[in-house]
Amino acid sequence: MIQLRIVLASMIVLGLTACGHLRTAPDGSRVSTLEGDEDQEKIQQIEGANDELSASPAEQNNIPIEVNKQVQKWVDYFQGRGRKHMQRYLERSSRYLPMMKRELQDAGLPTDLVYVALIESGFNSSANSRAAAVGYWQFIRGTGKVYGLQIDAFVDERRDPVLSTRAAARYFKALHNLFGNWYLALASYNTGENRVKRAVMKYYTRDFWKLAKRRRLHRETINYVPKFIAATLIAKNPEVYGFRDVDYQPELAYDEIQIDKPISLQKLSSGMSGVSYEEMRKLNPMYRTYFIPVPQGKKVTLRVPVGMKDRAFAAVDMSYSAPPKYVATEFRYRVRRGDTLSGIAKRHRTSVGTLRRMNRLGRRSFIRVGQRLRVPERQNMEHLKYEQTNPSVTRRIAAQRRVRHHQVKRGENLSLIARKYRTSVAALRDLNQLNRRSMIRVGQKLVVSDSKGQVHVVRRGDTLSGIARRYSTSITQLAQANQLTNRSHIMIGSELIIPQ
């Protein structure tokens, strides 16, 4: 019996790649574990991801559909409590399904993989998860970069339907090359290939259902495959499952132009009569602000409404824009064993004080392994580096706002405190970095302000021009009030005086 277990273990090990060094996957592809990137997470770059899939008949057809109690549970959910969500996802799906299926088919992959985007994001480019996954296919920052997506202060290609689908196709192909099994590939997409590899090698099986039955994977991953199967069944035959009144959106359609200089999307849309800025943003969701960056000597593809190419070309010359001088972006960093705040701050060229302020950490607060911290975006371009607010400005802010501290008493809530100090609940939340679910406690000290003087707390994605528009002032007045020069840059969490 012992000899038999040894033989089985050897066969499994030969069939999978082990963590760390380069080894051979089931189809002969090679893998290597890479460390690095800004969030310092281990991301596995699976080589052979661009190879043609030809190892087994399953790769030429669609993913096997196995219906069992777990799948039926999710079908019941989507028909019941989750019906309104499924209805919305189906209505949105028709906008992207044709394009995404073409991309998957061109990559030699089963087109049913498109329904991963349905359960991941509901085909919503703005989708964000608690794990900082973004976009249609819910890539985390590190994995997105590994599979070719650009992510910086101005561009996040995880939100682009075409580019993110191509990256997802490369990732799916790599996972299938590694496991030779679509259910395990899907489980890996959810939880990471290393975790699935460890489970397979420990329990001598590639049968996803056996691993799920033994609860050898996380609960979310155990539910992921049956949820995918249920969503696929419904999406391919909605009327059979009771979805007879789906108001499908029209298919995504656009023309493309090439630009060779940075432009303002706002200026471009203004120069194209009949086209709104919001419409241009929807066609180009990968851009975080109005600014469309173009590296020197290169060209960038921009999407415009169908039939608007000539108008767009005519408006490009009048749409030139310099990069915003003031930009605020951040990313999520997962704390690893041995990390300290000072070490994280040094690695990402920021300060411990900034990290404490952005993450609401007191001087006695400890960070823990697995915790996700908000960290200012580090940029390669000199004009995007973050700088601390001028100390003299900070002192002027305090003086202008008459900042006070209020100690919470029994029976008080934010609404009562806001009325007492002639301010709003929203302003108190901003000043104390409280979200809608945050609770205040007796004895807690809150920063409060009377109504004289207005201050804006910089948030992710803010630009000086956007803040100026919000408060009906000008960039020049805002810069003068806060002693900002052409080389100054605002930082997430910093406070700006709003001129009266």
Give the CA-trace dihedral at 298, 320, 460, 116, to 10 degrees: -50
Round to whole Å and give the CA distance between 20 and 198: 13
In 3-state terms, what secondary structure has residue 134?
strand
pTM: 0.62
Round to whole Å and give the CA distance between 192 and 19: 12
**What's the CA angle centered on 155, arms 482 and 140, to 5 degrees?**
110
Determine the length of the chain: 500
DSSP H helices in 26-160: 69-79, 83-106, 114-121, 141-146
Round to whole Å and give the CA distance between 36 and 18: 19
Round to whole Å and give the CA distance between 133 and 409: 39
Domain ranges of the chain: 2-241, 255-316, 330-384, 391-498
Round to whole Å and give the CA distance between 152 and 102: 28
In 3-state terms, what secondary structure has residue 457?
strand
Q: What CATH class has 391-498?
A: alpha beta
Round to whole Å and give the CA distance between 252 and 99: 8
User: Position of tokens 């070309």?
Assistant: 313
What six digits make up the tokens of 372? 């996700």
In 3-state terms, what secondary structure has residue 250?
coil
38 is catalytic: no
Computed from CA positions of residues 204, 207, 213, 218, in that sequence, does the dihedral angle turn out positive or negative? positive
Round to whole Å and give the CA distance between 64 and 471: 56
Q: DSSP assignment, residue 18?
A: P
pLDDT in the model for residue 325: 59
| Per-position DSSP letters for 171-194, written without gaps between them | HHHHHHHHHS-HHHHHHHHHH-HH
Round to whole Å and give the CA distance between 343 and 327: 25
- What's the longest Cα–Cα distance across the chain? 83
272 to 116, 260, 387, 415: CA distances (angstroms): 36, 18, 37, 46
Round to whole Å and give the CA distance between 280 and 303: 8
Q: Do domains 2-241 and 391-498 have the same CATH topology?
A: no
Round to whole Å and give the CA distance between 190 and 464: 38
Tell me whether strands 43-46 and 291-292 are parallel, antiparallel or unpaired.
Answer: unpaired
The fold adopted by the segment(s) 2-241 is Lysozyme (1.10.530)
pLDDT in the model for residue 58: 34
The fold adopted by the segment(s) 330-384 is Membrane-bound Lytic Murein Transglycosylase D; Chain A (3.10.350)
Which residue is catalytic, options 120, 193, 377, 495? Answer: 120
Phi-psi region of 203 (alpha: psi -120 to 50; beta: other; left: phi over 0): alpha
Residues 6+ apart with CB under 8 A from 312: 255, 257, 268, 272, 302, 304
Are 300 and 347 within 8 A, CB to CB? Answer: no
What six digits make up the tokens of 479? 């810069």
Orientation of helix 83-106 relative to helix 114-121, angle to 10°: 140
pLDDT in the model for residue 324: 66
pLDDT along the chain (500 residues), means of 10: 44 40 33 33 37 36 87 96 96 96 95 97 89 90 92 90 96 93 95 91 90 87 96 96 95 94 91 90 92 88 94 88 66 83 83 82 83 71 35 44 73 84 74 76 77 64 78 78 64 69
150 to 35, 146, 156, 287, 432: CA distances (angstroms): 18, 10, 6, 11, 33
